[in-house]
Amino acid sequence: MFLTAASVSVAYIVAVTAFFAATFYYPDKDFDRNRWLTEREKRFELSEDLIESRILVGKNKAAVKQLLGDEENDEQSNYWRYYLGYRPTIIGIDPDVLDIYFQDGKVVKVEQHQL
């Protein structure tokens, strides 16, 4: 009886772990400008490298636009947003976005979040 209860408990834990691993897993890939521009719905796969490498920090608006494309951001604004697609989650009803903050015309901060 104890062995059956333990087996069921282990099977339950394995099933729940597998479910969450499959739901929240998405591949992190190195930033690739061509993929960024052509695979708009999968940009979230490239965003972590883009943020962690700090490739945008210190760049001016023209350089950001050259690298990431024109997302119809206001040239006069100190805040730009890029669409990243829907990152796999249990209740992924909102897309992720990349927020880019400028100070004195140069990137000072880059963040990702769900809308």
20-46 tens-digit pLDDT:
544 454 577 999 999 999 999 999 999
In sequence order, what E strands does 1-115 have?
79-85, 96-103, 106-114
- pLDDT tens, residue by residue, 51-72: 999 999 999 999 999 999 999 9
| Nearest-angstrom CA–CA distance, 47 and 61 | 18
For residue 18, being part of any structural domain is answered with no
| Domain that residue 50 falls in | 27-114
Entry pTM:
0.76
For residue 61, being part of any structural domain is answered with yes
Contact 71, 81 (CB under 8 A): yes
For the chain, the domain total comes to 1
Instruction: Kindly report the length of the chain.
Output: 115
pLDDT of residue 74: 96
pLDDT of residue 21: 43
For residue 8, being part of any structural domain is answered with no
Confidence of residue 18 (pLDDT cuts 50, 70, 90): very low
